[in-house]
């Protein structure tokens, strides 16, 4: 066996490897710049939230105003925003509370069955006699997010007692500035 005939000689184009190295360095620099910009945007959003949710509404509350027209014709106002999401660990407890307090209609109870293509006749007859057929039925209960948000807002604004932890309630202020056109 002749080793010289068996081995393959690979020629490396040093100009190409230099170009590749420069492109990789440029890519790394761009990624570093992007990360820096993303961090800057994150910081700006945090500062914006602080001004919009805290500083401006607090100062307006101290002044006893909820809206104000500025000298340039623009206006500033704030209003509370309501957020709610039932924690998974408290779903049953939250549903029990809703039902016990007369709000059970907020809970959507979805029952579904899956059938194969050729089982249309079974599906149709099952609509009338679901439980007697012995099929495996899946059930999912939920409160639609926007429904929950509206319910929470309504309850808080009307001064009703609401277990905030059960519904994951978060209330913040939102400042709106309308610029005169």
User: What is the pLDDT, as a whole number, of residue 47?
Assistant: 97
User: What is the pLDDT, as a whole number, of residue 11?
Assistant: 65
* 29, two tokens: 């620099």
User: What is the pLDDT, as a whole number, of residue 180?
Assistant: 82
- Per the DSSP assignment, residues forming a β-bridge with 91 are none
Name the nearest CA neighbour of 167 among 109, 105, 97. Answer: 97
Distance between CA atoms of residues 65 and 59, nearest Å:
9
- H or E element that contains 32: helix 14-50
Is pTM beyond 0.75? Reply is no
| Under 8 Å between Cβ of 44 and 32 | no
User: What is the pLDDT, as a whole number, of residue 18?
Assistant: 79
3-class DSSP assignment, residue 135:
coil
- H or E element that contains 91: helix 91-100
pLDDT in tens, the chain (181 residues): 555 555 666 666 677 777 888 999 999 999 999 999 999 999 999 999 999 999 999 999 999 999 999 889 999 999 999 999 999 999 999 999 999 999 999 999 887 777 777 777 766 666 567 666 665 556 678 899 999 999 999 999 999 989 999 999 999 999 999 998 7
| Under 8 Å between Cβ of 162 and 73 | no
Name the nearest CA neighbour of 163 among 110, 100, 97. Answer: 97
Name the nearest CA neighbour of 166 among 82, 81, 83, 86. Answer: 86
């Amino acid at each position: 066996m002749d080793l010289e005939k068996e081995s393959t000689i690979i020629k490396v184009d040093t100009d190409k490897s230099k170009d590749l190295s420069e492109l990789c360095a440029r890519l790394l620099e761009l990624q570093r710049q992007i990360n820096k910009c993303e961090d800057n945007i994150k910081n700006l959003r945090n500062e914006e939230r602080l001004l919009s949710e805290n500083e401006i509404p607090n100062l307006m509350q101290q002044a006893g105003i909820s809206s104000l027209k500025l000298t340039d014709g623009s206006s500033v106002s704030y209003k509370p925003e309501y957020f709610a999401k039932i924690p998974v660990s408290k779903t049953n407890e939250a549903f029990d509370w809703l039902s016990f307090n007369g709000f059970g209609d907020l809970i959507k109870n979805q029952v579904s069955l899956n059938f194969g293509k050729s089982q249309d006749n079974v599906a149709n007859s099952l609509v009338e006699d679901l439980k007697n057929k012995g099929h495996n039925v899946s059930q999912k209960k939920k409160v639609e997010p926007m429904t929950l948000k509206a319910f929470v807002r309504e309850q808080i604004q009307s001064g009703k007692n609401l277990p905030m932890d059960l519904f994951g309630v978060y209330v913040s202020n939102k400042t709106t500035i309308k610029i005169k056109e």
